[in-house]
Amino acid sequence: MFTLFATRLTADLATVLTKELPVSERLIAGAAAPEFTLKNAEGHDVSLSDFRGRNTVVYFYPAASTPGCTKQACDFRDSLASLQQAGYDVVGISPDPVGKLAAFAAAEGLTFPLLSDEDHAVAEAYAAWGEKKNYGKTYQGLIRSTIVVDPQGRVAVAQYNVRATGHVAKLRRDLNIGQ
């Protein structure tokens, strides 16, 4: 009886030790960017394919009208002309509802598309949704991330866990875009 138990325990332990745990895979340069269609602040559909032929900065932010997200959005707004001149469009994605995005865009004068991903399916496809830790608490949420998609729809740059403050300036340096 003990031998049967020990054999079973050993087999179960071997299964646990060799089984790969599911891990959200981050996008890497060269990978195809996941296609999406989401509602913008005006309630219209916007798809990644709408930007085909241009470089597109797709940035994920946790919540409209919060201090960090406002800082990041305003940094993109203030850099938009030079980004566009260098051939880059900008799209922001958050789990906020369309109405909140419309209020955020109006309050901050944001002229680039803000898209609503309420079920966070797109964030998950881009590995921008996952485990977060804040003040000792662990929970699932949006991971501030930026993915640059090239004109052919492939990932050119993937940055995860970025800081709200200074991120746009760093991204501009990484993309060799001057002021």
Q: How far apart are CA 84 and CA 90, in angstroms?
A: 8
Are the beta carbons of 108 and 128 closer than 8 angstroms?
no
Residue 131 within any structural domain of the chain = yes
pLDDT band at 22 (very low <50, low <70, confident <90, very high): very low
Number of domains in the chain: 1
CATH number assigned to the domain comprising residue 126: 3.40.30.10
Sheet of 45-47, strands arranged across: 45-47, 37-40, 114-116, 88-94, 55-60, 145-149, 155-160
Residue of 90 and 178 predicted with greater confidence: 90
pLDDT at site 132: 85
74 is catalytic: no
Domain with 10 in it = 2-174
Closest CA to 110 of 142, 72, 82: 72
Over range 32-57, report the average pLDDT: 96
- Please write the tens of the pLDDT for every residue from 142-172: 999 999 999 999 999 999 999 989 999 999 9
Residue 179 within any structural domain of the chain = no
Residue 81 within any structural domain of the chain = yes
The active-site residue, picked from 27, 38, 64, 69, is: 69
Residue of 39 and 167 predicted with greater confidence: 39
Residue 45 within any structural domain of the chain = yes
Are the beta carbons of 114 and 74 closer than 8 angstroms?
no
Q: Is the pLDDT of residue 1 over 90?
A: no
Residue 156 within any structural domain of the chain = yes
